[in-house]
Structure 1
Amino acid sequence: MKKWISIIIAAAILVIGTASVILYQSARAPVEEEIDKASKRVLDETPIKEIDQANIYHGANAYTVVIGKDGDNEKMVAFVPEKKGEIIVKQWADGISKEQAINKLNDEKNPEEILSVRLGHESVGPVWEITYLDNQKNLNYFYLLFSNGEWWKKIENL
């Protein structure tokens, strides 16, 4: 009897594990498809020849943010609009780094925990979006301009 219970439990764990992997893959498929499509556009339409990373940013409009290198091995970033539109390309050296954005947040606020730091594109151009929790565990968003690190927008105490 114990043997059958063990077999049933093992089979249930196997089925649940397999179903979880399939569900995760099917949920990620549209995201991966969008990233692949944007990456192909970047390689075809911009000076970027090698892609280091890509992710999707949802602000006022959705963009796929692609970071890579051009033929001279210079780091660049491209913002590919989700809908048809022109790709915006910037030299990485023309903006502030992720670390500089985090330092600016630490200088102005006292975050308890930084949840994410993402590069995105808004109406003002490229921005760093920093999501963090404050001392009261409130969710906050801090946006800095990529070009010079100036504050653009804050959304606090959510």
Structure 2
Amino acid sequence: MENLELEQLRALLETERNPIANLANASSFLYNTMNQLNWLGFYLIDGDELILGPFQGKVACTRIRVGQGVCGNAVKLEKTMKIDDVHQFAGHIACDSASNSEVVVPLWKDNQIVGVLDVDSPYQARFSNQDVQFLEKAAKIIQEAI
């Protein structure tokens, strides 16, 4: 099933060249593909901050400094972060108090991080290693479309 979903995502994005349109469609597609989520979207690098991009879910934080929260740390550490209980993560930024677990995947272009894919769930330990691998594969498709 995962491969089919990834091919659907690729087909959705491959003919459009506008990065915002592709991020908007990718956020909707992934949000509606995965279950038990309360937020899924993108933050884009602007200097030393991440700025809110297209997303699905409740209103979100607009700006996150690199190095702060899960998103900012994913950029600083240049790696995917899977947090089973965000309330145990030092410096967690609670944009939505209903969020309990989170995965953040950096997006790369020309060997530098240009943003992150951020996925939140109201359930603790919601994300399996298989979910993380799926989101990392999705991020690679999205990187090609922005």
**Structures share fold, TM-score greater than 0.5:** no
What TM-score, normalized to structure 1? 0.29
Higher relative contact order (CA 8 A, sep 6+): 2
